[in-house]
Structure 1
């Protein structure tokens, strides 16, 4: 091996280079997430926090699923070599490939959550028992957790939509650490949105996606071991 090749290899594989590659990939993914969610993010930030706007909020959230899916794939397949970084190309390829499959379950998930939220917002006017509100919250949390699992599965594996949903339900019980981890992430995201705004949540998008990926690692390993060749 020539001195030039050896020097290039050391630059690309050293600890500092790996750290720089990781930071670069994270920043690139954050920028790409912001770009792909911008059509929904701008009106979402401008909307008043009123129950009557929930259908519009649901519409604004539709670009989030494909963007997060592409970010998950990019971070999962990031290269530690500083001399071989192509996060943008990997992101756009994953975005195009995952878009149809992700939307098949992401749209119904957002729709169900919007319907549940509208019902919760109008509990008093409907004069229904308090236990009905508790039941709606539990159903909403369940839908969100299944949707999160399905998003991770569809982003990293190639399954039919019905199989994606079956795996999402199966691992909801099979991997409780993933379920409780996702629940904590959803609570953190809701808290950030309530205290600050959707814009702050979007600015932390890549970090939250990375946390989501790390939390889902036991499920990823389980799927690779049991359901792939």
Structure 2
């Protein structure tokens, strides 16, 4: 009987169901940890049409995103490694143990993103065929924003996995953009598609895709974490 129970609990269908459940649970926790962001469209509508006030509301709502991404990355990394003690428990542990460093790393990226978005909002909204510089400026800001977002997410993955100093996390997150091009392009693609879906449909979609998007980023970033561990961490010599 014990053998049958063990086989049932280790089968591929059981593991797949566990992953699906873990992704759903982490998605719920991400939404709960970012209720300000979920409610941001309502708060923006109450801002009375002020662009600067709306940008400030969204920027403030994005502050808790960093620690919640670290917590989700911590839980998903343990889930992918088969070391989880329950996604709910791992998420809370990852949040509590990393919240200060996550904020210290996340806020500079958020500040740069706020500047990029503000410049995009201040550009004329109408397309002028006689002013190609305007289109080039808009495209350049979009690419810059995507690069910053990709580096920021990479930094959150590093915070969840390693105990590096804040400045080293910043350096490594930028370094990985070039050193791990495939992973970085994959994460940028995931972020771009997610942002496109949110802008093309409704921001409420974030409630349903937050968990799967972060899981895909963690899954895609496993080679990056292995690379960082092999290149920038010390391993104890094997006993002979």
Same fold (TM over 0.5): yes
1:24 is matched with 21
2:92 is matched with 92
> How many residue pairs are counted as aligned between the two chains?
222
* Match status 1:202 vs 2:207: yes
CA distance in 1, matches of 2:80, 2:179: 30
Q: Secondary structure of 1:158's match? A: coil
2:115 is matched with 115
1:63 Cα offset (Å): 1.6
1:40 Cα offset (Å): 3.0
2:169 is matched with 164
CA distance in 2, matches of 1:206, 1:50: 32
CA distance in 1, matches of 2:197, 2:114: 19
Cα RMSD of the aligned pairs, angstroms, is: 2.4
CA distance in 2, matches of 1:85, 1:192: 33
Which consecutive segments of 4 or more residues in structure 1 shift more than 4 A?
131-135
2:65 is matched with 64
Contact kept, 8 Å, 1:146 with 1:169, in 2: the verdict is yes
Contact kept, 8 Å, 1:79 with 1:85, in 2: the verdict is no
Report the CA distance shift for 1:170/1:113 in structure 2 as closer, same or farther (over 3 A): same
CA distance in 2, matches of 1:196, 1:101: 34
Report the CA distance shift for 1:195/1:124 in structure 2 as closer, same or farther (over 3 A): closer
CA distance in 2, matches of 1:194, 1:45: 15
Q: Which of 30, 33, 44 is the equivalent residue of 1:33?
A: 30
Ranges in structure 1 where 5+ consecutive residues have no aligned partner:
none
CA distance in 1, matches of 2:221, 2:80: 20
Q: Secondary structure of 2:39's match? A: helix
2:160 is matched with 155
Report the CA distance shift for 1:164/1:6 in structure 2 as closer, same or farther (over 3 A): same
Contact kept, 8 Å, 1:192 with 1:201, in 2: the verdict is no
1:153 Cα offset (Å): 0.9
Contact kept, 8 Å, 1:67 with 1:95, in 2: the verdict is yes
